[in-house]
Amino acid sequence: MTDSAPDVKQGKRERLVASARAVIHRQGVEKTTIADIAQVADVPVGNVYYYFKTKDELVAAAIKGHATDVEAVLRSIERNRTPQGRLKALVRKLMSQRELIADYGCPLGSLCSELDKRANGLGRTCSELLGLLVDWAEQQFRSMGQRDARDLAVALIASYQGIALLTNTFRDPELMTREGRRLERWIDSLA
């Protein structure tokens, strides 16, 4: 949902953050070096430290960039008139990344899973990304009159994360396509 490549028109800091998001998604946090990010951003390695003192600061900025993108996607989905339509639009948006996910996994889920293994607090910060999706979905289910809105929201995001993992594991984007259709039918059944 939020994997973006660096844009030539961006400033150095923005290019570094965008590059960090892309490289970390492809390689993971542990395998990614500041030099890798600097190379993709077309920024001299020494200049990185002007903007970010540590790799963890750069990872935190990448997480914040993902959060900004998630919030923008959710705002764009709000144009749908019904909560059912908004939930289905979210499913379609998530499933639209199936090719990327088949290659590298979910940008958010992979990052959260990897950072959760570290003791530096970034895992908790990252978990807020998935929390944004769960909280938003809960509001939609609640607007549909569902008393177990939180459970339904967790089930929706868990289903997406599960199919993202399987899509990546088997390198089969069609798995995600089929699950997206199933989720849309499930949402319709709850309306």
Residue by residue, pLDDT tens for the chain (191 residues) are 655 555 445 799 999 999 999 999 999 999 999 999 999 999 999 999 999 999 999 999 999 999 999 999 999 999 999 999 999 999 999 999 999 999 999 999 999 999 988 777 888 888 899 999 999 999 999 999 999 999 999 999 999 999 999 999 999 999 999 999 999 999 999 98
Report pLDDT for 1: 66
The radius of gyration of the chain's CA atoms, rounded to the nearest angstrom, is: 17
Query: What token pair was written down for 184?
Result: 């849309």
Domains of the chain: residue spans and CATH: 12-190 (1.10.357.10)
Give residue 28's identity as a one-letter amino acid code.
G
Helix axes 149-170, 83-95, angle to 10 degrees: 20
Report pLDDT for 8: 45
Determine contact, residues 59/115, Cβ cutoff 8 Å: yes
Query: What token pair was written down for 131?
Result: 């929390």
Determine contact, residues 134/153, Cβ cutoff 8 Å: yes
Determine contact, residues 24/59, Cβ cutoff 8 Å: yes
CB contact set of 101 (below 8 Å; sequence gap of 6+)? 164, 167, 168, 173, 176
Determine contact, residues 138/153, Cβ cutoff 8 Å: yes
Report pLDDT for 179: 98
CB contact set of 133 (below 8 Å; sequence gap of 6+)? 70, 74, 90, 108, 157
Determine contact, residues 188/176, Cβ cutoff 8 Å: no
